[in-house]
Chain A
Amino acid sequence: KAGVTQTPRYLIKTRGQQVTLSCSPISGHRSVSWYQQTPGQGLQFLFEYFSETQRNKGNFPGRFSGRQFSNSRSEMNVSTLELGDSALYLCASGSNTEAFFGQGTRLTVV
């Protein structure tokens, strides 16, 4: 059974640009959550999608958005990138009793 797959693994973007990250969950998992991890703030919840609907949302500005497709794959988008958006972006797919993370996308904004 394949794990959670995130692409790309690494990205370098310039301030003001936008970026789209992709996450393919474990087969059969309909819930996909996104997190941002930085040394200063730790792991912070961005949003969760379930059956193509946003089910939970964290406290991030509207520049951070996401969506989920009918095959459960999810994308998150960050517009007008800022230096502070440099982080490891993790997606997790899960059920009621487990949540597995992908390898993450390391975004560097210069």
Chain B
Amino acid sequence: GQNIDQPTEMTATEGAIVQINCTYQTSGFNGLFWYQQHAGEAPTFLSYNVLDGLEEKGRFSSFLSRSKGYSYLLLKELQMKDSASYLCAVRRAAGNKLTFGGGTRVLVKP
């Protein structure tokens, strides 16, 4: 199956932490990507996970559990500029065909 599920929208306060979950069908998994997309702009690459565990990059971290078909993106010390859509994408086979979830719109409030 191709279903990749993410919450539609989340709201958080400036300075707080938000966790965006992504679940996917586990068959044929070959990597998971997270992107940030501001309105009217192209997606920006945030992270890539292919092995289980946590990858940390500054204020952003991404976690993967292959057996559970589950990933999350953790945004710490939220800033107003983090208000954007966050897209989870799965690569299943060789090559670079990515299947995207619908995206999670995060709104950061003062």
Contact = CB atoms under 8 A, between A and B. Distances in A.
Contacts, number: 57
A17 to B, nearest CB: 25
Interface in A78-97: 88, 90, 92, 94, 96-97
A58 interface: yes
A97 B48 contact: yes
Interface size class of B (residues with CB under 8 A): 20 to 34
Tell me the dominant secondary structure on chain B's binding face: loop
B95 interface: yes
Interface in A47-99: 48, 50, 55-56, 58, 88, 90, 92, 94, 96-99
B18 interface: no
A50 B98 contact: no
A107 B44 CA distance: 20
Interface stretch (B9-17, B65-73, B74-82, B99-107): B99-107
A94 B96 contact: yes
Given A42-B103, A97-B48, A98-B48, A31 B42 contact: no
Interface of A: 31, 33, 35, 42-45, 48, 50, 55-56, 58, 88, 90, 92, 94, 96-104
20 contacts: A33-B97, A42-B100, A42-B102, A43-B100, A45-B97, A45-B98, A45-B99, A48-B96, A50-B95, A55-B94, A55-B96, A56-B96, A58-B97, A92-B96, A92-B98, A97-B48, A98-B45, A99-B98, A101-B42, A101-B44
Interface of B: 31, 33, 35, 41-45, 48, 50, 87, 89, 93-103
